[in-house]
Amino acid sequence: MTWKKFSGEILKTPIHQEVEQAIEREYRLGNKLKVCIGTDSQVKGSLIDFATVIVFLREQKGGFMFIHQERIARKMTIKERMLTEVQKSIETAYSLCDLLDIYDVDLEVHADINTNPMFKSNQALHEAMGYILSMGFVFKAKPEAFASSACANKIVQ
């Protein structure tokens, strides 16, 4: 799985190692971190572009992120696409949660799902929330889910 920085620079080592190096670097600089993971997607004809982001927030000092992009040639219902986004975020969070625990870094999983029933994405809200919470992660949905609805969204547009 290829990850890159926001600048487009491809990360040369596995994501687990890159995250650990980032945490160690930030801690040496005296920064307290929180990690938010989210995925967004965009339908482009018969293709669906997915972007998963690992957002590192420095307490009162901005942040940075790592990005993974994927393209799937498949039709999906809106609900299936929303739950696929959640699955991709959970897979990433699960692969990093032991490392984040070691360094005592808070983790949130963000779902690009609207809490307002007037929006189509809302039909996946309960399943997504149950999935994320049952895995033991902190769940955020729109409008608080900036990792998916702002950061990942910028990548798939």
Q: What is the mean pLDDT of the chain?
A: 94
Q: Domain count of the chain?
A: 1
pTM, entire model:
0.94
Domain that holds residue 55: 4-156
pLDDT at res. 157: 82
What type of residue is 20? E
* DSSP string over 33-98: EEEEEEEEEEEETTEEEEEEEEEEEETTS-EEEEEEEEEE-----HHHHHHHHHHHHHHHHHHHHH
The pLDDT tens digits for 94-152 are: 999 999 999 999 999 999 998 888 888 888 898 999 999 999 999 999 999 999 999 99
Report the C-alpha gap between 122 and 135 in whole angstroms: 20
Label residue 4 by pLDDT band (50, 70, 90): very high
Query: Span 22-33, mean pLDDT?
Result: 96
CATH number at residue 58: 3.30.420
More confident position, 38 or 115: 38
Q: Which candidate, 28, 117, 22, 131, places its Cα nearest to that of 85?
A: 131
